[in-house]
Amino acid sequence: MSRPSTPSTRATVESARKNIEAVVRLEQASMESRSLGERVSDLFTRFMGTMSFVVFHLLLFAVWFVVNLGWTPLRPFDPFPFGILTLIVSAEGVLLAIFVLVSQNRMSRQANQRAHLNLQIDMLAEQETTKLLQKVQSLLDHFGVERSPEDREAERLSQDTEVEALVGEIRKSLPDE
């Protein structure tokens, strides 16, 4: 049984819907901005990652072996050790690797853009929260509200965050790779 929606839950759902629409627009723009080569590469890698691709290869190899081992009335065209097949499989492997690398490079670029967007939003949220804490501290001072020990923590958090200093601390604290 579903609960009746309240103005608060409706507002949350509306905010989520707007966020989802924004993400969909960003994804569509990203897909549309791909070059022709990236589109072709994505098409190939999407097909290569299917069971149909595996089954096709298994059937092709089976037929190749049966014909070229002389188990059919057809004349073998690539007798053991299957030099032509080796050449074809090697060339296919190189092309498949290139297609995968092109697609991975595009996905890596997209992931970097998302990470930069997340960093910008996180930094903006931190600035907004700091400003909000400063306003609350100002209101407490204005109304003469005594500060408790917990308020000291809020006062410390209301100081501007020095991103460069945090990066330096992280670099000093994490082990080198």
74-91 core/surface letters (b: 16 or more CB in 10 A; e: else)? eeeebeeebeebeeeeee
Sequence-distant (6+) residues with CB within 8 A of 77 are 67, 68, 84
Q: Are 103 and 42 in contact (CB under 8 A)?
A: yes
Distances from the Cα of 93 to the Cαs of 14, 39, 89, 135, in angstroms?
Answer: 48, 19, 6, 62
pLDDT in tens, 125-144: 999 999 998 898 889 889 98
Residue with tokens 């819907």: 17
Instruction: Give residue-wise pLDDT tens across range 63-99.
Output: 999 999 999 999 999 999 999 999 999 999 999 999 9
pLDDT (tens digit per residue) in 17-57 = 888 898 899 889 988 888 898 899 889 899 988 999 999 99
- How much of the chain is in helix, strand and coil states, percent to nearest 5? 75, 0, 25
pTM: 0.67
27: nearest Cα among 117, 87, 94? 117
Please give the pLDDT value at position 5: 66
State the pLDDT confidence band at 2, using cuts at 50, 70 and 90: low
How is the chain split into domains, by residue range?
A: 36-173
Mean pLDDT of the chain: 88
145 Rama sector, left if φ>0, alpha if ψ -120 to 50, beta otherwise: beta
Cα(94)–Cα(154) distance, integer angstroms: 58
In which band, very low, low, confident or very high, does the pLDDT at 173 lie, cut at 50, 70 and 90?
confident
102-116 burial code (b ≥16 CB/10 A, e <16): bbeebeeebeeeeee
Question: Using 50, 70 and 90 to split pLDDT, how confident is the model at 175?
Answer: confident
